A and B are shown apart, each in its own frame.
Chain A
Amino acid sequence: MSFIKKYIEQETITRRNLLLASAYGVGGAAISSMLGGMARAAITDPTVAWSYRNRTNPYWNEIVSGGEAFVESLGKPKDFLTHLINEGSSEKSLADVKALLSKTNGELALAIDTNDAPNARPVVESCVEAGAYVSTLWNKTDDLHPWDFGDNYVSHMSWSDEGPAEQTARILLDAMGGSGGVVHLGGIASNNPAIERLAGLNNALKDYPNAELLAAEPADWDTQKANQVMSAFLTRYGDDIKGVHCANDTIAYGVLEALRAEGIEDMPIVSYDGNPQAVELVGEGKILATVFTNPHWGGGITAALAYYAATGHFKPSEEPNEHREFYGPTIMVRPEDAQAFKAEYLDSVPTYDWKDFWSTSNGQIQYK
């Protein structure tokens, strides 16, 4: 049977060579076009694109609406913004970016969440090679920095959720009178924000010796799953549950409905994200606090940074590091200021100055 084995091996090698050769060919062609790209000082009219998961999630919907508001501020129609939708696939994310780079010949201002951290490097490197300008949001590895890539990797913005989640946890624990059982319903277990938000709760609990974390389960940012997990918590812990710490608003909705099914109306709950519906619920006192990260602004400013760097409005390499890697803004929403907050941010979307990049930043990103 060895001749079969040999044949398969041979075929594998031939195919691998073919793949390598074709990859080299494409790469070579790309590099030659890039050399032209690199020499370019500024692009007069770059394509503006946002690459993200999808619009089903209200958070990403807000992000993209910010991107659209930004292109409208340029006097362009909404659909001037190119949407690259990765549907949660890093491979698709990278492939789409490469396709758009060759279509636009590198004349691109790209805002992107690369879906997961490791994917940020190949995306950034492709953009830099093509002479395009890229700004990233949320995901990148700790060893990847904009200042290592000259002007083309413009910026990275993220949020540290541990601090704000700790604040909401303190509000929750105070509302519980500092004692009793807490349950936490988290995001997808491996997601960074999910980890940080649970860590925030644990930090707060250290100062409340009479309070206890009964359980922390992932609810995958999903209303229906949160509903089921909360129901099961009620079976397991019953009246021992005195407060609920939710990793985001969509989870809180499911928790509220699970409690409503049992006729429980006054359970202290805190959440995160500041979606319009959650802010309403905060106003009604059904949620004690949520944290607004202004995704609309985040989506707009990420695109704006890439665009204005591409057009030469500012030179990223001349900016300090705290302007290249920074934390986005956070606003705590409590029942007493929910109305004012809603009027300012939600009833009518504020018109932002898309050249004011850093005034609301929470400082340079710190690595542990």
Chain B
Amino acid sequence: MSNVLTRDVLIKWAPLIVLLVLVLFFTMMEPRFFSLRNFARIGISSAPALMVAIGVTFIIIMGSIDLSMEGTVSVCAVVFAFAFIALGGTLASWAWLAIPLALLVGGAIGFVNGLVHVLLKIPSFMASLAMGFVGTGFALLLTGGDRIRVEDDLFRSLLTERWFGFPIMCYVALLFLLIAWFIQSRTTLGRNFYAVGGGEELAHASGLNVNRVRIMGFALAGIFYAVGALLAVGRIGIAETATGSNFMFVSITSVVVGGTALWGGIGGVWNTLIGVLIVNVINNGMVVIGLPGYVQDGVLGILVIAAVVLSTDRKSVTFVK
């Protein structure tokens, strides 16, 4: 019995151990890696990705998948930038309304995404991928291919203002992580995600409106994508159709590396935090230790496989789909 317990504990903490080993490894290779300034840099690159990854975590816990993040992030970023500039161009004016508007847009896209998936009975994989393309196309339609600069110093203080060495955007990300944790552990909706992911038929038979939970999940994910979009715009001061690029790979990888199982019911937002940090530590560390560019992609792929093997309990899986 005690053996089983240690094994469980080990698997629970494996992602964190992987993260620590990576930090140790990169520090040994290049001591400058281990500095507050570099951790702040990793924090900056992780913050938007963490928001997007948290969004998709809820969906993956339900045993579905959401691939619409790139389109949703682009649309939210572009809508935010247009509204922000139209309403005054600084947070000190009515332009702050652009922030709730972006969250609303993100939620709405997620809601439609959920409706398409549930009502038309299209697998979430396909429905969300298609919605993602629609989003990218829509963002392109709005911008006509141009990029919109958000120059407001107050908004950009997300990046430029630092508390204890970390820019404000890191604290914003932390705040939303806590909100996500609250939703996951203290609300009925959060527990229902696990119920659906753990056994949909059982949840359904127990009287749970599974379709409603699914739609709510996609809407919630959309809101988190919007937060990610805001932080991404805060980071580079530009909103464009390409703002959403690469978020799909980074977020899904992070969720899985963090130990949330793709078949649902296992994992959570703290796992995702560790996963995002693992991916960003790898990305940052490889440049810091001076690995040639052409090796980096390959190494990242291998490390991801290694991290997944170490951090998920493969013995409990009877088959992999």
Interface residues of A (CB under 8 A from B): 54-58, 60-61, 186, 189, 215-218, 222-225, 227-229, 231-236, 238, 253-254, 257, 260-263, 277
A233-B287, A235-B33, A260-B160 known; A58 and B293 CB under 8 Å?
no
Q: Are B284 and A232 in contact (CB under 8 A)?
A: yes
A228-B45, A235-B41, A235-B284 known; A58 and B32 CB under 8 Å?
no
B295 to chain A, nearest CB (A): 11
Q: Which residues of chain B have C-beta atoms less than 8 A from A186's C-beta?
A: 293
Q: Are A58 and B33 in contact (CB under 8 A)?
A: no
- Tell me, yes or no, whether B12 is within 8 Å of chain A by CB: no
A225, B246: Cα distance in complex, Å: 9
6 nearest A-B residue pairs (beta carbon): A61-B145, A232-B287, A231-B41, A55-B145, A235-B38, A56-B241
- Tell me, yes or no, whether B140 is within 8 Å of chain A by CB: yes
Of B45, B147, B246, the contact of A58 (CB 8 Å cutoff): B147
Q: Are B35 and A254 in contact (CB under 8 A)?
A: no
A56-B140, A253-B236, A257-B235 known; A232 and B41 CB under 8 Å?
yes
- Tell me, yes or no, whether B163 is within 8 Å of chain A by CB: no
Count of CB-CB pairs between chains A and B under 8 Å: 93
A282 to chain B, nearest CB (A): 15
Of A57, A235, A257, A261, the contact of B288 (CB 8 Å cutoff): A235
Q: Are B236 and A236 in contact (CB under 8 A)?
A: no
Q: Which residues of chain A have C-beta atoms less than 8 A from B245's C-beta?
A: 222, 224
Q: Are A236 and B288 in contact (CB under 8 A)?
A: yes
Q: Are B146 and A58 in contact (CB under 8 A)?
A: yes
Of B237, B246, B289, the contact of A257 (CB 8 Å cutoff): B237
A56, B232: Cα distance in complex, Å: 17
Q: Which residues of chain A have C-beta atoms less than 8 A from B104's C-beta?
A: none
Q: Which residues of chain A have C-beta atoms less than 8 A from B208's C-beta?
A: none
B242 to chain A, nearest CB (A): 5
Q: Are B293 and A218 in contact (CB under 8 A)?
A: yes
Tell me what chain A mostly uses at the interface: helix, strand, loop, or mixed: helix
Name B283's closest neighbour in chain A (CB-CB). A228
Q: Are B32 and A236 in contact (CB under 8 A)?
A: yes
Q: Which residues of chain A have C-beta atoms less than 8 A from B240's C-beta?
A: 56
A-B contact pairs, 13 of them (CB 8 A): A55-B145, A56-B140, A61-B144, A222-B242, A222-B246, A228-B284, A231-B44, A231-B45, A231-B284, A232-B287, A236-B32, A236-B288, A277-B149
**Apart from the given pairs A224-B245, A228-B287, A235-B284, 7 other A-B contacts in the complex at a CB distance below 8 Å:** A55-B144, A56-B241, A58-B147, A231-B44, A235-B32, A236-B290, A257-B159
Of B37, B140, B236, B287, the contact of A262 (CB 8 Å cutoff): B37
A224, B45: Cα distance in complex, Å: 9
Q: Max chain A CB contacts within 10 Å: which of B38, B240, B283, B287? A: B287
Q: Are B44 and A277 in contact (CB under 8 A)?
A: no
Please provide the chain B residues from 276 to 294 with a CB less than 8 Å away from any CB of chain A in the complex. Answer: 283-284, 287-290, 293-294
A298 to chain B, nearest CB (A): 16
Of B41, B159, B294, the contact of A234 (CB 8 Å cutoff): B41
Name B30's closest neighbour in chain A (CB-CB). A236
- Tell me, yes or no, whether B238 is within 8 Å of chain A by CB: yes
Name A60's closest neighbour in chain B (CB-CB). B145
A233 to chain B, nearest CB (A): 7
B43 to chain A, nearest CB (A): 10
Q: Are A232 and B167 in contact (CB under 8 A)?
A: no
- B3-25 toward A: CB 8 Å interface, digit per residue (1/0)? 00000000000000000000000
Name A186's closest neighbour in chain B (CB-CB). B293
A189, B298: Cα distance in complex, Å: 14
A223, B245: Cα distance in complex, Å: 10
Name B232's closest neighbour in chain A (CB-CB). A224
Q: Are B147 and A261 in contact (CB under 8 A)?
A: no
A55-B140, A189-B294 known; A227 and B235 CB under 8 Å?
yes
Q: Which residues of chain B have C-beta atoms less than 8 A from A54's C-beta?
A: 140
Q: Which residues of chain A have C-beta atoms less than 8 A from B149's C-beta?
A: 277
